[in-house]
Structure 1
Amino acid sequence: MSVTSLLSLLAACLSLYLIPGLFRRTRKLPPGPRPLPIVGNLFNAPKSFEWLAYQEWSQKYSSDVVHYEILHTHYIVLNTAKAVTDLLEKRSRIYSDKDEKPIIHLSGWARNWGFMGYGDYWRAHRRLFHQHFHSSVVQVYHPSSTKAARQLLRALHESPEQFWYHVRVMTGSNILRIMYAIDVQAENDPNLALAEEALGVLHKFGSPGAYLVDSFPWLQNIPTWFPGADFKQQAAELKPVVDEMYLRPYRDVKYAFDAGNPKPCVLSDMLLDISKHQNGLDYEVLENVVINTAGTAYAAAADTTTCALLTIVFAMLMHPEVQTTARNELNDVVGLGRLPEMCDQESLPFITAIVKESLRWRPPLPLAVAHKSTEDDEYEGYYIPRGTIVIGNAWAIFYDEERYPDPHTFNPSRFLDSEGKLRQDVPDPIQGFGYGRRICPGRHFVMDVLCLTVASILTVFSIEKPIDESGNVIEPTGDYMSGLVSFPAPFKAAFIPRAGNIDLTALDVGLYLFLFLTVVGAEWKSQPFTKHKR
């Protein structure tokens, strides 16, 4: 086919795709910025920090629900807890689908079941993951999380200036150990490096609207040499990295499992499950469900947990009075000479409040992952067409002044009553974990990790603003970055060992011995992974 013929074919396809948008609907859509003919809001839709723009639109148009349109695709943004509950919760039957982006498939991230369309295949992944991470099971992973927190303390003592790296290693090593029984090396670990490289691919291709092929799916069929098709070559070059992240650790665990020497990890449990309960399903299909579910756990936990911990470090840096209150609670509950355990969490409501407030104040996923409607619907007199991309704006919910007074202030005490107990009348920032049937089933695990890690760090260290060589205080910018996960901009912090508490100067003979005993205990406790009750 000549270039002229191919261009003519593309023009015809484009016309057929866009012509329906020329006929304006008579049914009333939610308010939003005025679209242009054919392209809609292609040029005035936000490209970064979308959650802030959506919140401004909600205020400008005096509507909880706002609408915009790009190239014949409708987008609805829900900016209040009520709208999210009414649609994504109460009408979850028609709002649990996902818009399966072609660029995600081309780059290998279609294995991530968080991006999969709603149906039996997605439900198989969800069911398997929930089986191993629901609230009554996550205590099985407490020894591993405790080990990870202890290792983080030692790393912060040895090289506190690299705290960004140490936090990421801690979150990544914990989930790799739980899922695959992989013990990550302190430096230059190949499994961690592979997982991080694969996450980089997700960051590159996962931002909504970054690639035109997501608006024109037929573009994925054009040849790689065609002008503008460089996205296909980029995705093809990076897809093997994503595939290897999912498959390399799986092969190692599967080899040991087949040899009759299963490793103590979740993946071994999953393999045992499908070997006993195929329920007439094809084993190859079930095996892919296992591979996808295990591999997605790293992507789901590593970035969001790392981002939340870095936000807490930043918040402590800016609010020493919060650290003081936390230390008083830790002194009363934990005392001197030992480190917090998971069993202390219920007695540390202020630590829990710090975690909740950080998730509200700077949510790692301000927009979570968008849903898609499967039927025409109507809400508050507005028409929502089938196939509409529905976005829950967690940021707008968390900055609702009626829900959280003075929302711009970091204030953990908003979650506590006059007696210092957690309040039941203040909503948890659950929207940061998603909505409806697509809510993150690993949220209980993440909360446990965050609470233990924060309690451990504040028991051992005081987080302070560092001093430069000239004696000047280095102030953080307070900026955050736009993206699927909103990380704080790089900042520096000093981790000063607390006087009168655990003596970190005697690390090798003191804390090191404590860590050794804790790790030995954690390893012993973690052996019966395959024996816990379902």
Structure 2
Amino acid sequence: METIQFIFTALAAVWLFNWAIKRRFQLPLPPGPKGLPLVGNLFEMPRDFPWEKYHEWCKEYNTDTLHLYAAGKHIIVLDSPQAAADLLDKRSLIYSGRPRLPMIKELMGWDWFFGFRNYDETCRLHRKLINQAFNPTAVNQFIPQIKRATRNMLGLFLEDPEKLEGNLRRMAGETIMSVSYGIKIQKNDDFYVKTAEQGVSPALHIVGNPGAFLVDTIPILKYVPSWFPGAGFKTKAKEWKRLSKVMLEVPFKAAKAAIADGSASISLVSANLDRLEALGQNDSAQEQAVKEVAGGLYAVGIDTTVSPIVSCILALVKNPAVLKRAQAELDSVIEPGRFPDLSDEPALPYITAIVHESFRWRDVSPQALPHCLIKEDEYNGYRIPAGSIVIANSWALLHNEDIYPDPFAFNPDRFMKEGKLDFQSQRDPSFACWGYGRRKCPGRYMAYPAVWLAITHLLYCFDIMRAKDEYGNDIDPPEEFISALTIMAKPFKYDLKPRSEDIEKLIQQGLSAEVDFREFDGDH
């Protein structure tokens, strides 16, 4: 009798399993534009500001889970906070892969980069190394380097106030090279920063412009010889691969040399190599992981640091009342003769609201890096095929009118209530601006204080105003941005001057003084 019951139970289980599988494959795909036979929506895919078109389609088809099909690839766009949380956060076990990316990973050799890797054992090791160095407590050891780069930035603006993006890139480059390798960069045309920029720029440009190379749509083209007509991408990939290898090897070699002769300052490389040596685990595989993580930090850190600061300056030029209120708050807290510090953050809620609004208003990465679903899934009655490329439309989430009324206005007051920070009335943008699930930015605890310090110092030290035209009229700068993985405001006119002679002297003193590595030991 027990045997018969077991057989019936087993048969029922098999039937239910087959029924579930059959049912799932009978489910419809999420709504979306129909497309053409074979190629689907390939020729409809937007090249510039794709997140805007995705949102438009979502409204047209009344869905927050959009389906597109492009020459064999299923693409799912998540257009609401709920959909992004349900899939990328709650089901991160199966939604943390990355697309194949033949041009970048296979031809350009960027398969080492943790941002492009599938969520495998090596990726987990990379993220662990980053977390050990940049978790909320450990990151404090790098605050002096961030402050040093910030004060050097002020000197750059004294010398050349019109080089907004250039001065900020120099500051971000100095910060990243210092905390990654312990390298102190040169003031002008630094070799290490230039090497990193040359290695990183092609990859970020390509991944931010999907479809730029046909090989990403038709991977078999990777086998076409470089001399074949139309295969110029192979020559480009070879040169870009060489540049990325130089970016990986050169600063790491310099960091190891400094460690060997005892001149190294604290950095991700020195901290991890010292730890591995103490544990007796300093083998070639572990060292390679440290090298790859250090090389990847420039890729993820340079534009994501510069972009929100540039957006903030643009917003302040267009909203002078916000700047005046911020400076009044700073003047009420910061005693003359010193710079703002992270320890002042609790007393500067409006400044912090400005920083959060800068991340939200022109979100740094409007659609983040795409995820890849590793097995078949079902959501809200729709089938999501295995291997689907899944895109979170962060731009739509951070400009959702139900969460942020008047979402395209720069309004730090949305995060203020009765003179205090308020993330209850309107949500903290961090739910979308740092990524999702297991692929959330591991360096966010270093990036945030770097941006906060840069914006706070600029507001405290400089008046940032509209430029004048030849007739003395104010120039209202346009809100124009470059479409890429990380957006950047196009160059715009502004006027930047020190707020007083005392401030100018303070900046000069800051350039000659060394930051005390013991002066900051609290959590931020």
**What TM-score does the superposition give when structure 2 sets the normalisation length?**
0.90
Q: Is 1:361–1:410's contact at 8 Å kept on the other side of the alignment?
A: yes
Structure 2 counterpart of 1:120, which letter?
A: E
SS at match of 1:188: coil
Distance in 1 (alpha carbons) for counterparts of 2:469 and 2:260: 56
Write the distance in 2 (CA, Å) between the matches of 1:179 and 1:481. 28
Shift, 1:205, TM fit: 2.5
Structure 1 range deviating more: 189-198 or 424-433:
424-433
1:265 and 2:267 matched: yes
- Tell me the secondary structure at the aligned position of residue 161 of structure 1: coil
Asked if 2 retains the 8 angstrom alpha-carbon contact of 1:365 and 1:485, the reply is: yes
Could you say which residue in structure 2 is the equivalent of 1:238? 240
Pair 109,470 (structure 1): closer, same or farther in 2 beyond 3 Å: farther
Q: Report how far residue 329 of structure 1 moved.
A: 0.9
Matched ranges for 1:37-48 at <5 A: 37-48=37-48
Equivalence for 2:12: none
Partner SS for 1:85: helix
Letter in 1 for 2:516: G
Alignment-mate amino acid for residue 374 of structure 1: I
C-alpha distance in 2 between matches for 1:335 and 1:97? 50
Counterpart of 1:466? 467
Which segments of 5 or more consecutive residues in structure 2 lack a partner in the other structure?
1-24
Query: Shift in Å at residue 147 of structure 1?
Result: 1.1
Q: Give the conservation status (yes or no) of the 8 Å contact 2:89–2:438.
A: yes
Instruction: Look up the SS of the partner of 2:502 in the other structure.
Output: coil
Counterparts of residues 283-432 of structure 1 (less than 5 Å): 283-430=283-430, 431-432=432-433
- Following superposition, the deviation at residue 31 of structure 1 comes to 0.6
**Conserved 8 A contact 1:417-1:423:** no
8 Å Cα contact 1:301/1:446 also seen in 2? yes
For 1:503 and 1:256, the matched residues in 2 are separated by 36
- What residue number does 1:213 align with? 215
Q: Measure, in 2, the Cα distance between the counterparts of 1:497 and 1:255.
A: 40
Structure 1 equivalent of residue 250 of structure 2: 248
Which residue number in structure 2 is paired with residue 516 of structure 1? Answer: 512
2:151–2:510 Cα contact (<8 Å) kept: no
- Find the counterpart in structure 2 of residue 100 from structure 1: 100
8 Å CA contact 1:173, 1:184 repeated in 2: yes
Alpha-carbon separation, structure 1, partners of 2:206 and 2:77: 22
Q: How many Å apart are 1:84 and its aligned residue? A: 0.5
> Take 1:393 and 1:198, find their aligned partners in 2: how far apart are those partners?
28
2:481 is paired with a residue whose SS is: coil
- Mapped pair 1:228 → 2:224: no
CA contact (8 A) 1:149 1:453 kept: yes
Answering whether residue 54 of structure 2 is matched by residue 54 of structure 1, we say yes
In 2 relative to 1, CA 258–154 (structure 1 residues): closer, same or farther, beyond 3 Å? closer
Q: Deviations over 1:240-295 (max 9, x none)?
A: 1111111101011122334565443221111122334466xx92222221111011
| Contact preservation (8 Å) 2:183, 2:255 | no
User: In the TM superposition, what is the alpha-carbon distance from 1:475 to its structure 2 partner?
Assistant: 2.9
Distance 1:129 1:100 in 2: 24
Contact 1:330 1:459 in 2 (8 A): yes
Deviations 1:73-113 (A, max 9, x none): 00000001000000000001100111131111222332221
- Per the TM alignment, residue 323 of structure 1 is displaced from its structure 2 partner at its CA by 0.6
User: Is contact 1:107–1:201 with CA below 8 Å preserved after alignment?
Assistant: no
- Match of residue 88 from structure 1: 88
Structure 1 pair 335–256 and aligned structure 2 pair: CA distance change class (3 A): closer
Cα distance change, pair 136–264 in 1 and its aligned pair in 2 (3 A) = closer
1:188 aligned residue: 189
**Cα distance in structure 1, aligned partners of 2:362 and 2:198:** 25
Offset of residue 173 of structure 1: 0.6
For the 8 Å contact 1:253–1:263, the answer to whether it is kept is: no
Task: Tell whether the 8 Å contact from 1:345 to 1:452 is kept in structure 2 after alignment.
Answer: no
1:448 deviates by 0.7
Query: Is the 2:74–2:388 Cα contact (8 Å) retained in structure 1?
Result: yes
Q: Name the SS of the counterpart of 1:66 in structure 2.
A: strand
Cα deviation for residue 32 of structure 1 reads: 0.7
Whole-Å separation in 2 of the counterparts to 1:468 and 1:203: 36
Take 2:156 and 2:399, find their aligned partners in 1: how far apart are those partners?
35
Answer with 318-327 or 107-116: which moved more: 107-116
Tell me: CA distance 1:496–1:512, structure 2 relative to 1, closer, same or farther (3 Å): closer
CA separation in 2, counterparts of 1:172 and 1:432?
Answer: 21
Give the aligned partner of residue 168 of structure 1. Answer: 169
The AA in structure 1 aligned to 2:102 is P
Q: 1:502: how far off? A: 3.0
- The one-letter amino acid paired with 1:163 is L
Query: What's the C-alpha RMSD, in Å, of the aligned pairs?
Result: 2.1
SS of the aligned residue for 2:195 comes to: helix
Give the structure 2 partner of residue 498 of structure 1: 499
Q: How many residue pairs are counted as aligned between the two chains?
A: 496
